[in-house]
Chains A and B, each alone.
Chain A
Amino acid sequence: MPSEPLLEVHDLHYAYLGRFPALAGVSLTVEAGEKLALLGANGCGKSTLLKVLDGLLFPDAGTYRAFGAEITETGLEDEQRNRGFRSRIGFIFQNSDAQVFSPTVREEVAFGPLTMGLDAAEVEARVHDTLAMLNIAPLAERAPYQLSGGEKKRVAIASVLAMNPEVLLFDEPTAALDPRTQGWLIELIVELNAAGKTIVLATHDLDTLPLLADRAVVFGEDHRLAATGPPDELLADHDLLLITNLALRRR
């Protein structure tokens, strides 16, 4: 299937507790190698969509296809398919504290490769390389509670990169980071994309948008997509940003 996009969702509906809609008919495709930003105000459905893309939530209605196969809850109960899907798509949560759950940094980074079933020597090698690549080798034996926010973010990213996924999902990657770490992370995302990784990120930070994405979709308050296009175009459309609560009304 050469023409099929990497990820594709069609007419997704999702409501929390069956009552509070988060997605109300969202359709979207993600092409291999692109940097796609999901733009929207708080509570519009970005994070929910990312969790659907990562196979953590399953839509009430609509379909999700990834890597040429439909992703369903029962489908992922198959160990082989679960392993295949999980190793090809990685998710960096907004809350690094929840993502970094292991006793030490080393064990955190080893967790994914180990559940993938790699042998111990290969896991060791991957952990070593990933820690070196993200400049956190000296933190290997540290406990998460001894890390700063920026360090935790690096560890969270390392724990996902160690699985070498094709697609990386970032939820609010630059939120609550100091400017230096923000700068580092933006560079890293660009580099990873240049190395062939597909990037999907949720953000409401308009300043960094042109750096982080070559395409963006805007969520409206009705939990549907309001617009799609290159970041520059969307940023120039002040009315769009106003109705989607992404910009303040100027005097």
Chain B
Amino acid sequence: MTATLPPAAPVPTARWLLEPQVGLCACAPSGRRRKGTYVTRTIDAAAGVVRAALFAEDAAAQPGLLQRLDARVKLVTLLGLLVAVSLVQQIPVLVVAYAATLVLAVLSKLPLGAFVRRVWLAIPLFTGIVVLPATLNLITKGHVVVPLGSWFGHRVGMTAPGLTGAARIVLRVATSVSVAVLLTTTTRWTRLLAALRALLVPRMFVLVLGVAYRYLFHLLGSVTDMYEARRARTVGAEDGRSGRAFVAASAGALFGKSHQLAEEVHQAMVARGYVGDARTLSAFRLRALDVAWIAVAVVAAGALVGLDRGL
């Protein structure tokens, strides 16, 4: 508050501030490094979100098959395919469905390696680990095909239904995530927003979604700044208590910042005539390719379910 300070009265700068200072401690590597503190992990998570957004932005700019489709058509058809995948029970059919997502990724000029990594590292691999115990006869009853020994007098082993169930869920999760990633990475998210609007999602909700997404990156930047500053100033190990206090304070400060921004954004909207209902430009054109794709998707979904029931 410069305004209330007396104008003149020069204050001498503190001496210590003007003198160079050697480190407060011997800063040689002590060999004890705490890998991946909460600070680093939060920064990494924030960077991960931005990276994912940029990956999607690049992928959406490629001249691939899915990129050329109308966003509404893509959203609805991929949702339909997701439902079909969730209805399929036979493992071979799930394998076919998963292979189809890979074909779509190639046709959409996505880097196949990155696509597969993105999908599998997200959830399916993890799912595989989680459902492994469910293959045991302790959880899923049935004929033991892989005996593992005995435990407290009970024979323990993997059962046929257990293995089937595990394979099924892993494949289903992988295929579902692949479809979701296909949608995400081949569609500019502004088109996705427009598609949601066209699909009768209430306008207010879509407006909230758009503004939220826009400021998400702004807040991520603030968090990264706060945590970088924290990391730069944390000397030595930090106890959990002060760490938690920092997290709470940064979340609190972030909320304050969010609210301040909300106020300013509100003024900016009102200044341009906003009174609680917004119109948007949306130009959608259905082309031959879209119509053809709808046909393909309907046939594919039908074939998946039909094949599944027929087998």
Contact = CB atoms under 8 A, between A and B. Distances in A.
A123 B273 contact: no
B180 to A, nearest CB: 20
Contacts of A123: 281
Interface string A142-186: 011100000000000001100100000000000000000000000
Nearest to B3: A43
Contacts of A66: none
Contact of B281 (A91, A107, A143): A107
Interface stretch (A9-17, A93-101, A190-198, A230-238): A93-101
A16 to B, nearest CB: 12
Interface in B250-276: 261, 264-265, 267-275
Given A82-B275, A93-B264, A102 B2 contact: no
B2 A245 contact: yes
A89 to B, nearest CB: 8
A66 B269 CA distance: 20
A107 B267 CA distance: 18
B279 A115 contact: yes
B281 A44 contact: no
B26 interface: no
A164 B54 CA distance: 35
Given A106-B281, A145-B218, A249-B8, A87 B190 contact: no
B150 to A, nearest CB: 59
A208 interface: no
B273 A116 contact: yes
A242 to B, nearest CB: 7
A251 B218 CA distance: 44
A86 B214 contact: no
Contacts, number: 109
A144 B212 CA distance: 12
Interface in A96-152: 97-99, 101-104, 106-107, 110-112, 114-116, 120, 123-124, 127, 141, 143-145
A243 to B, nearest CB: 8
A56 interface: yes
Interface size class of B (residues with CB under 8 A): 20 to 34
Interface residues of A, number: 47
A51 B267 contact: yes
Given A143-B190, A145-B218, A120 B270 contact: no
Nearest to B221: A145
Nearest to A43: B3
B280 interface: yes
Contacts of A104: 190
Contact of A56 (B261, B271, B281): B271
Contacts of A144: 214
B278 interface: yes
Nearest to B261: A98
B281 A124 contact: yes
B273 A112 contact: yes
A41 B3 contact: yes
Contact of A43 (B2, B218, B264, B267): B2
Given A79-B275, A110-B280, A101 B268 contact: yes
Please name the 4 residue pairs, one residue from A and one from B, whose CB atoms are nearest each other, closest first: A98-B264, A115-B273, A145-B217, A112-B272
Given A103-B190, A107-B190, A249-B8, 13 more contacts: A82-B275, A90-B271, A99-B265, A101-B215, A101-B269, A103-B193, A114-B278, A141-B188, A141-B190, A143-B190, A145-B217, A159-B272, A242-B7
Interface of B: 1-4, 7-8, 188-190, 193, 210-211, 213-215, 217-218, 221, 261, 264-265, 267-275, 278-281
